A and B are shown apart, each in its own frame.
Chain A
Amino acid sequence: MIEVLSNSALATIQDGGRHGYYRDGVSRSGAMDGVAVAVGNALLGNDRDAAGIEIPMLPFSVRFDTGLDIALTGADCAAHLDDVALQPDWAIRVHASQVLKLSAPKSGCRAYLCVGGGVDVPTVLGSRSTQLREGFGGHEGRMLQKGDRLAARRTESVLPEGGMGAMPVAALMPELGQGANVTVRVLPAAEYELFRPEAHDALWSGDWAVTPQSNRAGYRLAGPELQLITPIELRSHGVVPGVIQVPPGGQPIIQLADAATMGGYPKIGTVIEADLWRLAQARPGEKLNFQQVSYEDALAARHELDRCLASIEAMAMRVRAAAKGWSR
């Protein structure tokens, strides 16, 4: 079992997301940085979508009361297992009574704690993710609290002595953009043509600051004002994670994992699915740049990310098998 020691709010159990219930008004939920969870699961030999703990507010600490395989991925937050520093993107066997402590992140803003087999909570509507607004899924449908106890679905170890890690995914993928800003790829959306030409220029060339009013539901951005040619009123329509809405006032909102499934603001663009994990690690104050791509580019990017994750999974499996052979 894992016992939550800190009172740090906002930590939730998340997996690959609750897909297929948009028609019922159930948003996707799931890990904001799905790549970090997939990497943790790859190191542990779990299913890609096994449930982990998303930790957006640090410090955070847990105590283990059984031996357990764990992986810590996502934001690099100077983690320590008892007094020993834990490497970033690392999987290791922990022992009973060991304490894992995460401190303020050096980079990124969401850490993920994955465990052997995934966190053992009931599956609701096909997912173990916490559906915060509706209060179901995850652990009792809520954020984790001090004293909560969680079980892993596998306790035997598959890891080599000393553990193993993954190369940073950003280093395995072609570089996006330049400089300190976070670049994500964006498709023009349905109402794109209803915005003024200056708004188009601003979208593609502007620096878009992530404001503190940003969370799992969406990121509010600050930047140049995006103006419509003429004001329009839209009926509410389906909205998916990644959609960039522009409310009156012209400051865009990117809808994310816990966003409502419907909305009526005009949509100027959509961050492609393959880049949503990059947004998840952008901190308030960091600036985004949007790079225009086509639908075909978006599909190719998704396939590329899938291939990258599949290669981490395959190599992790080979290294685990080889280490097992050498230790005999």
Chain B
Amino acid sequence: MISIDDLDRVLGWMLKDQLQALEVSEGNARIRLKMADRPGMPAPRVEAKVLARGLGRFLVAHPRSGEPALKVGDQVVAGGIVGFIQNDAVLLPIVSAHAGQVSEVHVAAGSLLGFGAPVLTLMVEP
């Protein structure tokens, strides 16, 4: 038998894992839970900003690589280099702490970055 406590627990899992519907079958019994429709609500996602950890000129790619600049919609991996800060002859990496999809690029190639300046906004999958 499925108790009210069981339903409560299952609902907790659904909320935690963002499930919209869950169906459980056992013998002839079947129970189906479905979240109330909330039309027009976007999928729940979280924004994260990638910040410059140094001062200098923004390079979209390593000068020896010739890779194209990141643009809105591109995927980045956690710990991945998303650009460089050029300080005279020295380069510092701009590293994304999260995996996600680029939703905004805040700085143009070659522009000057201050410490803590936002470089990208990512939509991070929760």
Contact = CB atoms under 8 A, between A and B. Distances in A.
Interface string B60-101: 001111000000000000010100101111111101000000
B96 to A, nearest CB: 11
B62 A88 contact: yes
Nearest to A317: B90
B90 A312 contact: yes
Interface stretch (A24-32, A115-123, A163-171, A267-275): A163-171
Contacts of B90: 43, 164-167, 312, 315-316, 319
B63 A319 contact: no
Contacts, number: 71
A241 to B, nearest CB: 26
Main secondary structure of the interface of B (DSSP, over half): loop
A171 B88 contact: no
Interface residues of B, number: 20
A92 to B, nearest CB: 9
Nearest to B80: A84
A167 B63 contact: yes
A319 B62 contact: no
Instruction: Count chain B CB atoms within 10 A of each CB in A43, A162, A316, A326 and give the residue with the most.
Output: A162
A88 B84 CA distance: 13
A312 B87 CA distance: 10
A160 interface: yes
B89 A164 contact: no
Given A162-B92, A164-B91, A88 B65 contact: yes
Interface string A52-89: 00000000000000000000000010000000100111
A166 B89 CA distance: 6
A171 B91 CA distance: 13
Given A87-B81, A167-B86, A311-B88, A162 B93 contact: yes
Interface in B87-118: 87-93, 95, 115
Interface in A306-327: 308, 311-312, 315-316, 318-319, 322-323, 326
Interface in A203-234: none
A87 B79 CA distance: 14
Instruction: Count chain B CB atoms within 10 A of each CB in A161, A167, A172, A323 and give the residue with the most.
Output: A167
A87 B84 CA distance: 11
21 contacts: A87-B62, A88-B65, A107-B64, A160-B53, A161-B53, A162-B81, A162-B92, A164-B90, A164-B91, A164-B93, A165-B92, A165-B93, A166-B89, A167-B63, A171-B63, A172-B89, A312-B90, A315-B88, A315-B90, A319-B92, A326-B53
Interface of B: 53-55, 62-65, 79, 81, 84, 86-93, 95, 115
Interface of A: 43, 76, 84, 87-89, 107, 160-168, 171-172, 308, 311-312, 315-316, 318-319, 322-323, 326
Given A84-B79, A167-B88, A168-B64, 9 more contacts: A88-B62, A162-B92, A165-B90, A315-B87, A315-B89, A316-B90, A319-B90, A322-B55, A326-B53
**Sorted from nearest, which 10 A-B pairs have the closest CB atoms?**
A165-B91, A312-B89, A162-B93, A88-B64, A315-B88, A315-B90, A319-B90, A162-B95, A167-B89, A315-B89
